Structure 1
Amino acid sequence: MTFTKEDLALIDDRLSQRDIKLDPAGYFVIYLDREAGLICAKHYTNVIDERGLAVDPETGEVIPAKGKVERTHTTLYTGRTAKEICVKILEETQPCPVSYLDHAGYLGREFVRAELALVTGQEYIQD
């Protein structure tokens, strides 16, 4: 069976709607530094409250999933490829800033998308 690009996009769109548990080890904001040719990931700490929402550890305020948030990242990771940044975050950093396997899988997918955008010149927007 052959799938079209549209078929694959529908599968991914449907899977993006599933419920996920947020990683208590924190979250990442991923972006490209095109001038330097780098994939960048800022790591932020958070606390997961009794509702399963990420909150700022200092203020207790819910961290919105969309929109601008004024917080300071704990670490900036960079890499020239998806593999390089994954190794830095998941293998070389102790303690590892990722505690859920599904979060690690998500980061790997996002870093591959970011690498492709860096190489092709396409826009990258984190999913």
Structure 2
Amino acid sequence: MERTLEDLTAIDDKLSKRHIDLDPGGYFIIYLDREAGLICAKHYTNAIDDRGLAVDPETGKPIPARGKVQRTSTTLYRGRTAKEICVEIFEQEQTCPVTYLDHAAYLGREFVRAEIALVNGQEYVQD
């Protein structure tokens, strides 16, 4: 069965709306540094409360999913390719900041999307 781009996009859009448990190891904000030709990922720590919400480990306040949040990242990772940044995060850290496999898979997908956007001069928006 041949699928169209629209079919594939619909599958991914539906899957993006599924429930996922948040990683107690923290979260990443991914962006491109076009001038340097790099994929960048800032890692932030968080705690997960009894409701399953990500909260600031210092204040205990929920971290909003949208909008500006004034927090300091713990680490900045950079790579010229998706593979390079994945190796830096998953293989070169003493303690990997990612504790859930589904989070690792998500990051891999996002880094590939970011690499494609970087190479093709397209806008990258993290899913």
TM-score by length of 2: 0.99
1:30 corresponds in structure 2 to 30
Paired amino acid for 2:74: T
Name the residue aligned to 2:97: 97
Gaps of 5+ in 2: none
Tell me the distance in 1 between the aligned counterparts of 2:2 and 2:65: 35
Q: Unaligned 5+ residue runs, structure 1?
A: none
The 1-side partners of 2:120 and 2:28 are apart by: 23
After TM superposition, where is structure 1 displaced by more than 3 Å over at least 4 residues in a row?
A: none
Cα deviation, residue 10, structure 1: 0.2
* Structure 2 equivalent of residue 78 of structure 1: 78
Q: Are 1:7 and 2:32 matched, yes or no?
A: no
| Larger deviation, residues 59-68 vs 28-37 | 59-68
The answer as to 2:107 corresponding to 1:111 is: no
Q: Distance in 2 between matches of 1:3 and 1:90?
A: 33
1:55 equivalenced with 2:85 (yes/no): no
SS of residue in 2 equivalent to 1:117: helix
Task: Please list the CA deviations of residues 67-112 of structure 1 after superposition, one character each: whole Å capped at 9, or x if unmatched.
Answer: 1100000000000000000000011111000000000000000000
Amino acid aligned to 1:47: A
Deviation for aligned residue 1:60: 0.8
- The two structures have a TM-score, normalised by structure 1, of 0.99
Q: How high is the sequence identity, in percent, across the aligned residues?
A: 77
Q: CA-to-partner distance for each residue in 1:54-73, whole Å, 9 max, x for gaps?
A: 00011111001111100000
Supply the AA of the counterpart residue of 1:46: N
Structure 1 Cα separation of the partners of residues 121 and 66 of structure 2: 24
Per the alignment, in what secondary structure is the counterpart of residue 112 of structure 1?
helix
Matching residue's letter, 1:15: L
